[in-house]
Structure 1
Amino acid sequence: MNWIILIIAGLFEVAFASCLGKAKETSGTESYYWFAGFLVTMTISMLLLIKATQTLPIGTAYAVWTGIGAVGTALMGIIFFKDPISFWRIFFIITLIGSVVGLKAVSSH
């Protein structure tokens, strides 16, 4: 169950990074709404990470959380923020995914 909580925490990390990106692109009241979304999703992500680390090793949980956030944010950047796409970028995203799956596979929990 804590692995599911950790995955959800990672998805909220993607959400808070995306909100931060949108806040940067907008101005006025709209940017404040995106910043508020950033604060809410960051808080949820951190609380879920804390919950997951009650039974999962902190090193593994943090690495998986940041890996999900890094992969998700990179993909969001490519899809929604027009970040450049290249062979090497996709290659390293795939190796990150492999690393996250590997950490899950070798975890004793």
Structure 2
Amino acid sequence: MPTATFNGEVIADAEDVITIEGVAYFPPESVRLDCLEETATRTGCPWRGIATYYTVRVGDREERDAAWRYLEPKRKARRIAGWVAFWKGVEVQGVEGGLVE
């Protein structure tokens, strides 16, 4: 089962994820949203749209902009609307079973 772990705690686990360009996107219902705090950071992708970033916080540790998602993706990326991806200190494991785009 794909999981995302930060500071020793599982912050996301899902039966399946969507993997795009080597990045696993977790369905929002599988993510502990209480560990995420939206930041002002935004980036753009020509085919996915605008990504919204989040600080990941567990216990006394936090990592700014370590999670992101596309809240209103472009048409080609509609399947990942609201799904959450991680990096920068968040350990993602078990993504071999993900759906590859």
Q: Which has the higher strand share?
A: 2
Q: Which has the higher Rg, Structure 1 or Structure 2?
A: 1
TM-score, normalized by the shorter chain, greater than 0.5: no
Q: Which has the higher helix share?
A: 1
TM tier, smaller: under 0.3
